[in-house]
Chain A
Amino acid sequence: MTDPETPPGPTVIVRVVARLLLAPSVVVAVALIVKGYTKVGDGFAAGMVVGLAVALNAVAVGAHRAEAALPVLRHAPHAAVGGAFVALASGFFPVALGEPVFSHRPGPDEEVVSVGTAELMTAVSFDVGIFLLVVGVVTVLVHQLAEPDQEPPT
């Protein structure tokens, strides 16, 4: 990418579409998670949807520009590690109560509080953890692999 003004390769259409797809992809991801426990899709798929949008942006306009346009992406490592902790906490909190790991709450015979179609239970928070981790890892990988030869300006 010698000239930053006119990056070779992707046409204007790709760049515009990549930009436009970002918001819908997040909406789709939220939908996938929220409905996850009753319909098709789970945290991993949701994370991949957002990750795809991020990767498409990076391919379309270049990683640096994409990251400049979306400063929130720089929190990807936090999202990855935070997601790992959320998943870990959701899976292993029963150990503190003397139960086997992944004994989700509410238990099999208990009532689940729902907000719309979203069920408030630890299995879903585990899924949210997976989502955050996948988004974070994919974004980090895109960032790392985009310009592997150059040290980013510090």
Chain B
Amino acid sequence: MEGAEAERPGSSRSRRPDWPGWSCCAAAAAGFAVCLVGWLRGGGTLSLPWVPSLDLRLSFAFDGLAALYSLLATGVGVLVFAYGTRYLRQHLVEDGRPLSEGRRFWPWMGLFAVAMVGLATATDLVLVFVFFDLTAVCSYFLIGFDRERREARTAALTALLVTIVPAVALLVGAVLLYSAYGTFAIPELVARVGPGTTTTVAGLLIAVAALAKSAQVPLHFWLPRAMQAPTPVSAYLHSAAMVAAGVLVLGRVHPLLARSELVLVVLLVVGLTSIAVGGVLALGRDELKQVLAYSTISQYGYVVTLYGMVGAAAAGAAAFYVVVHAVAKSALFLSAGAVTTATGEDRLSRLGGLGRRTPVLAAATGVAAATLAGLPLTGGFFSDELFFGAAKEHGPVLTVASVLAAGLTFAYIGRYWTRLFLGPLSTAPGALSRVLLVPVVVLALVAVVIGIVPSPITALAQDAGAVSHAAPVTLSPAYHLDLRGTNVMALAAWALGGLLLAAAGLRDRASRLVATAGDRLGPRRAYTATVIGLRRVSDRLHDWETRDLRSSIAAVLVPAGALAVGAFAVTPVTQAFAVGPIAGTDWLVLPLLVLVGVATLVAARTRERLGIVLALAAVGFGLAAVYALRAAPDVALVAVLVETMLSLVFLAALARLPGTEPHREHGRRRGQRWRDPLVAAVSGLGAFVVIWGYLSEPRETPSVAAEQARLAPAAHGQDVVTVIVADFRGLDTMGEITVLLIAAVGVATLLRRGRLW
């Protein structure tokens, strides 16, 4: 137990290193090393039975695609976690929160990294779904880390709903494929699946889940909102990991998607729209992280577009693009966080001229921005070159679209960097911790190294592309000093971007126009309306159900009775309702039942509390006597005991009630008088019909009960009920008595703050 004193910011203990953070960092580094060795050794597969009755297996494959995304998740993870150790502390100190809140942060970060690696390696569709949702759950807690702020909470909920509800489509698609082809394993599906309606529908469903995760239009609006998250979360989840999960799934199941023209067209359209919407909106945003969020939407649009074009070049280019983008975008997020930490401002309009004060940060951010813009000597040049190359193979429309897209990227990222680091100084930055700077520099260096020696990433992208394309892929990114097609396209894109950068007025007006249109007609509005509507319906149902005790009881009894009556209405009932002969002890049972009936009426009619309790006790003891006569002494014994206890509890409760008798509330609405008898009639009739039907059903097949009675002596018992309770159904009994213990703990928690005694 650490006292509040130990956690006060500035005290000696608060300067201790953030051990959970650094251990996450070390674990990520170890994971990176393991993944690297695994990839260099050629990978491998692992398949364990999971739920054999459902054909589910825990199948993992460490192939090229898995290696690429695992290396990204762990590699970027190392840097982001290191950055986070410092950032989180500063963040908490600034908000005046105890440092111990960091304990809520790192487990989710670590679990997220694990889920990402699991998703990258999973080759069973249901397993993919599980990891997919696991990342969403982690992201919910990470985005909502600043849980005191309402915006953070709504942002977290939006991200969760928009990614997890479409994820159900992934499961539906998986089940569709399973029902048609009898397997959840992706490699086997790739071998078996042919073109057809099932393939198209399943492919579309899986694509919807993946596109929502990758924040593609029209389900993109969760990502800009999710910028409420602390910067390390944005840098990790919204560049290298969570958003990448969507395109990872696309890459994993791409051979299936490629069997359907329609799915490919959808991918192309969605990808190009996302590039345009994300890019244009990024042009006009003022908040740093908002610009980057829209940029992410746009950049993953590139990858989705590449998956929409079929071919070896496109598959390889998509993989290459993911790596380069993740490196550049996490650097940009981390630098945005560093700028905000140093200056306390998070808007472009209040920042500027930081280049002279923080030259290292400016240079590193510049490299990252150049990478996004696709300038030479950065990895971005090659990723754009491969993108242009793939687009060129698919006709003039895509060629022009790709040039426009690259021009847009050049413009918004150029605007971002120049506004931030050039021009007159607006807000003077404070001192910048080295831990916040080094990860940005390292990522920028990686981008430059890829720009000079692309061969390692090329090899990785070739391996990953081979999985998505289901055939070997060869990429040959290189600098060519001639006017070949891709070079011309790159030059055209830069020129276009430069023009957009210069024409500030036109650019801002266009961006504002699109933003307004999006706010008016966009999917976010539909989402908000849906959430509000659902909440209203739920509130109304809840109010109606819990208005008073009678409503609560009716809410249980009426549906149960109606269901029973409905079930009997549609079941053939020629033999079901027989009246058997009356003989022997039945002559004793009948008057007992009459007594029970009279007692029930008394309980319903009397107004004296004591009378109600005694009448109910009479009902219970009368039924216990019936059990005893019907040769069920065990049930009768328990019934007597429970009935006694109940009567005792009622009497003890009566002693505590105020002395006045209950009176009917005045001014009840018309019709309410008939409500209670009606509810009672429906539920009572339902129960009556069920029991009558059950008792008159002739038993032809040997029942379970008879079998258990036969086996009881073998279990060394003569009392069948006891043997069933303690042996045949022992596990059920165990569960029931555990519930008893939990109930006691619950009562203790409610009444005495958890003290059992």
Give residues in A with beta carbon < 8 Å to B: 8-9, 36-45, 48-49, 51-52, 55-56, 58-59, 74, 76-77, 80-81, 83-84, 87-88, 91, 101-102, 104, 106, 108-109, 112, 119, 121, 123-124, 126-127, 129-130, 133-134, 136-138, 140-141, 143-145, 148, 151
Contacts and interface: CB of A to CB of B under 8 A. Distances in A.
A91 B638 contact: no
Interface string B719-735: 10111011100110110
A44 B648 CA distance: 18
A41 B738 contact: no
A96 to B, nearest CB: 16
Contact of A87 (B721, B727, B734, B751): B734
Contact of A52 (B641, B748, B751): B641
**Which residue, of B645, B649, B651, B723, has the highest number of chain A Cβ atoms within 10 A?**
B645
A40 B634 contact: yes
B747 A42 contact: no
B717 interface: yes
Given A52-B644, A130-B737, A141 B747 contact: yes
B537 interface: no
B757 A133 contact: no
Contact of B641 (A9, A45, A106): A45
A84 B737 contact: yes
B483 interface: no
11 contacts: A37-B716, A42-B726, A45-B638, A76-B756, A84-B741, A123-B730, A134-B737, A137-B741, A140-B757, A141-B744, A145-B649
Given A41-B634, A102-B730, A143-B757, A36 B719 contact: yes
Contact of B716 (A49, A123, A137): A123
Given A77-B756, A102-B731, A104-B727, A133 B737 contact: yes
Interface string B621-663: 0000000000001100110011011001101100100000000
B714 A108 contact: yes
Report whether over half of chain B's contact residues are helix, strand or loop; otherwise say mixed. helix
Contacts of A143: 757
B637 A40 contact: yes
Given A36-B719, A87-B734, A123-B716, A102 B727 contact: yes
Given A9-B655, A59-B651, A137 B744 contact: yes
B33 interface: no
B752 interface: yes
Interface of B: 633-634, 637-638, 641-642, 644-645, 648-649, 651-652, 655, 714-719, 721-723, 725-727, 730-731, 733-734, 737-738, 740-741, 743-744, 747-748, 751-752, 756-757
Given A140-B748, A151-B752, 6 more contacts: A37-B726, A41-B722, A48-B642, A59-B652, A83-B737, A87-B734
A101 B731 CA distance: 8
Q: Can you list the 5 inter-chain pairs with the closest CB atoms, starting with the nearest?
A: A102-B730, A48-B641, A77-B756, A42-B722, A108-B714
A128 to B, nearest CB: 10
Nearest to A42: B722
Nearest to A83: B737
B721 A42 contact: yes
Given A38-B717, A40-B637, A59 B731 contact: no
Nearest to B632: A40
A87 B717 contact: no
B716 A112 contact: yes
A144 B757 CA distance: 8
Interface centre among A37, A59, A101, A119 (most CB of B within 10 A): A37
A145 B747 CA distance: 8
Contact of A144 (B717, B721, B727, B748): B748
Given A40-B633, A42-B721, A104-B715, A49 B738 contact: no
Contacts of B642: 48
A108 B714 CA distance: 5
Contacts of A91: 730-731, 734
Contacts of B715: 104, 108, 123
B714 A123 contact: no
Nearest to A130: B737
Most buried by B among A51, A58, A141: A141
Contacts of B716: 37, 106, 112, 119, 121, 123
Given A37-B717, A130-B733, A148 B751 contact: yes
Given A88-B734, A101-B731, A140-B748, A42 B718 contact: no
A74 B737 contact: no
Interface centre among A41, A109, A129 (most CB of B within 10 A): A41
A37 to B, nearest CB: 4
B715 to A, nearest CB: 7
A56 B652 CA distance: 10
Residue among A9, A55, A102, A151 facing the most chain B CB atoms (10 A cut-off): A102
Contacts of A48: 638, 641-642, 645
Contacts of B714: 108-109
A137 B740 contact: yes
B154 to A, nearest CB: 38
A84 B651 CA distance: 30
A76 B723 CA distance: 27
A49 B641 contact: yes
Contact of B726 (A76, A123, A134, A137): A123
A61 to B, nearest CB: 12
Contacts of B740: 133-134, 137
A123 B717 contact: yes
B600 to A, nearest CB: 24
Contacts of B741: 80-81, 84, 133, 137
Contacts of A130: 726, 733, 737
Contacts of A36: 719, 722
Contacts of A45: 634, 637-638, 641
Which residue, B644, B651, B725, B737, has most C-beta atoms of chain A within 10 A? B737
A52 B649 CA distance: 10
Contacts of A9: 655
Contact of B719 (A40, A52, A83, A129): A40
A38 B714 CA distance: 12
A130 B743 CA distance: 15
Nearest to A55: B648
Given A40-B719, A48-B642, A59 B648 contact: yes
A55 B719 contact: no
B726 A127 contact: yes
B477 to A, nearest CB: 57
A90 B539 CA distance: 47
B739 to A, nearest CB: 10
Nearest to A80: B741
